[in-house]
A and B are shown apart, each in its own frame.
Chain A
Amino acid sequence: MNRAVLSRLGITLPLLPTTSVGSLPKPPELLAARSRYTMGAISRRELDTLAEEATVFWLREQEALGLDVLVDGEMYRGDLVGFFAEELEGMVLGGPVRVYGNWYYRKPVIQGPIRWEQPVTVGWWRFAQGHTAKPVKATVTGPYTVMDWSFDEHYGDRRTACLALAHELRKEVEALVAAGARIIQIDEPALSTRPGELPLLREALGVMTDGLDAYWIVHTCYGAFDTVYPGMLALPVHSFSLALAHAAVDWIAHFAIAPFTADLCAGVIDVHARAVESVDTVRHRIEHALPLVPAAGVWVAPDCGLKTRRIEDARDQLRVMVAGTALAREQQDSGGSGI
């Protein structure tokens, strides 16, 4: 149904368009350079040059793999919250806090009024779009997640902190739209953390998106979706990018309790699995989602960003995803796609 929005924005996509969620693995030389930069051994310009080279590498890879909507791979970011915390006035990075297993992030601290001073992703989006004819999706971490994943030492309540972030991050998406970004994904992995705060999330995303002409996606992962469904469908976005492949729960079956009124970007690759899924598994996962949402409204993606994988594993996973999607498209074409 939101194909009309994409069409108005001048974007034509095949049935079951494929995309990556956002982050992709950084090449070892970039990882090493980030450490050297932290220690003051190289300049920001030298680091950015390597990040640009890695961005171009992944754009070429995504094109070669046949993905339909590309990402810049977030070669210039550490993690999804810390990057914005470093760039926003009023926030600083704290010490490392564990997320799971051996994964940590430097949990930001809100120390004063949050202020957006200048675009932080726009230059990278523009750089990426300048290197490919395919549409590049812009990705911005959402205000609710930045708030939820930070220590608040200034605002004193979650609502005030969240809405302050929303007003400042809106300036970033305004700048993205002005630069020409037409597909914008807001990453809200914390979406289902506190179901009672769904109205706050809705308000915050309204602040972010209201009156801005773009195709809006919200991405979320590893949550208990039953606690926020179907209420989450009221969020002011066109599409939900959801981690579905890893889950012990059949979320598609659960979502059938109410009409899924948005587009669905179905996660069909478990980014934390040791083995790469088979093409058939991907095809089955896509077909499992199709009764829920008309095929014209279904996207295909991994569950989450692939940055934790090795480059060759991420490449294999995306290859399998594209191949599985091709099989699902054939099936749809032979049975009628409904577009």
Chain B
Amino acid sequence: MEFIVQNHSSYPRVGDTERRQRLRRAHAAWERGDITAADFDAAERAEIAVILREQADAGVDVVTDGQVRWDDPVSAVMRAFDGVCLQGLLRYFDTNFYVRQPVVTGRVRRREAFTVDDFRQASAVSQRPVKVALPGPYTLAQLSVIDAAAYDGVPALAAALSEGLAAEVADLAAAGARLIQIDEPAILAHPADIRLLRELLEPLWAARGPAQLVVATYFADAEPLYAQLNSLPADVLALDLSCSPQLLATIAATGASKTLALGLVNGRTAHVESAADIARQVEMALHRYTLDALHLVPSCGLEHVPRTTARAKLHALAEARRLLTSTP
């Protein structure tokens, strides 16, 4: 059985030390007009290279660019669509993080690929394969205000976003991305919409080409929806175990119909989990079923913890993998 250690999506852009605050200072200098956009771009590239190396050094097999260039995941995607303007700040689920709320004022249409260049840049300097994580159409629609006659509700807007995101998935796959993640945390608060989510993900699934599609939920208990999540069009299902206390037992009892990415370190706590505990949980999940592959991931993006904590949590996952593969 293959264990794959994967980063989830975001990664802290700055750290504790003066050196690791360079991007923050460059961002402020760019906003003041003290440096050019090209200077700021270079600072972002430099930090992304550091972050990619940091993940590889921690033992991560599939890394991300940390979403370093994004102010927040919602506005970063929605600003790439026509028919959208970005408004005031809105708390992102129950985190201490905020996003600019999109207001849909007309028909939404993806103007052009918006993550492909970042993916290519990251891949060019990364020692490890780079995954791209995008918020999904359902979650984006749920977090938007609809102020356009074209859409009479979340399903209609989400369907239009699904079309644009499917084109992005196709472009990423054509650019060489082999793992593309779609984040749908909002579905856990609206379980009755699971069939809608399935329909919304179909175009992305069809567009993935040679890439594998990961669908991720987090920030709430996924256990009540586990069986239905297994029926989504996805190659890999990423689950937040920190919010789902019964989920391991359910997985152990029922198995899985697709590859799982178990969120075994909590992306929102300062405590760094022990590798031995992580390995024990994996063994518990697998005590009845054997899977071809299991991904070990953080429960959500790591942007919600300090950099040193994020690095330590990734290292704990890699160490857990070592324990699991060295057990006779």
Contacts and interface: CB of A to CB of B under 8 A. Distances in A.
Interface of A: 94-102, 104-105, 107, 109, 148-149, 151, 153, 190, 192-194, 222-224, 243, 245-249, 270, 272, 303
A248 B91 contact: no
A192 B88 contact: no
B303 interface: yes
A255 B163 CA distance: 36
Interface in B54-93: 71-72, 87-91
B99 interface: yes
A99 B98 contact: yes
Contacts of A270: 88
A199 to B, nearest CB: 16
Given A95-B309, A96-B306, A194-B94, A248 B87 contact: yes
Given A107-B270, A272-B89, 6 more contacts: A95-B309, A99-B97, A107-B96, A193-B91, A247-B101, A270-B88
A99 B271 CA distance: 20
Contacts of B308: 95
A224 B101 CA distance: 11
B15 interface: yes
Nearest to A148: B96
Interface of B: 12-16, 21, 24, 27-28, 31, 71-72, 87-91, 94, 96-99, 101, 103, 145, 147, 269-271, 303-309
Contacts of A247: 87-88, 101
Q: Which 4 A-B pairs have the closest CB atoms?
A: A95-B306, A246-B88, A151-B270, A248-B87
Contacts of A94: 270, 306, 309
A100 B306 contact: no
Given A107-B96, A151-B270, A98 B145 contact: no
A148 B307 CA distance: 20
B24 A99 contact: no
Nearest to B104: A248
Contact of A98 (B89, B147, B269, B303): B303
Nearest to B143: A224
Given A95-B309, A107-B306, A192 B271 contact: no
Nearest to A95: B306
Contact of A100 (B24, B98, B270, B309): B98
Contacts, number: 94
A248 B12 CA distance: 28
Q: Could you say which of B31, B269, B270 has the most chain A C-beta atoms within 10 Å of its C-beta?
A: B270
B145 A248 contact: yes
A149 B87 contact: no
Given A99-B96, A100-B97, A153 B91 contact: no
A30 to B, nearest CB: 17
A100 B71 contact: yes
Nearest to B24: A102
A197 to B, nearest CB: 9
B304 A97 contact: yes
Contacts of A107: 96, 270, 305-306
A101 B94 CA distance: 18
A151 B94 CA distance: 14
A271 B68 CA distance: 25
Given A96-B14, A98-B13, A272 B88 contact: yes
Contacts of B97: 98-100
Contacts of B304: 97
A97 B88 contact: no
B64 to A, nearest CB: 15
B87 A102 contact: no
A105 B24 CA distance: 12
25 contacts: A95-B308, A95-B309, A96-B307, A97-B304, A98-B12, A98-B303, A100-B72, A100-B89, A101-B72, A102-B27, A102-B28, A102-B31, A107-B306, A151-B271, A193-B91, A193-B94, A194-B94, A222-B89, A222-B98, A243-B88, A245-B88, A246-B89, A247-B88, A247-B101, A248-B147
Contact of B90 (A98, A149, A224, A303): A224
A97 B103 CA distance: 27
A303 B98 CA distance: 15
B96 A97 contact: yes
Nearest to A197: B94
A193 B90 CA distance: 10
Contacts of A272: 88-89
A57 B140 CA distance: 44
Nearest to A273: B88
Nearest to A100: B98
A248 B96 contact: no
B262 to A, nearest CB: 22
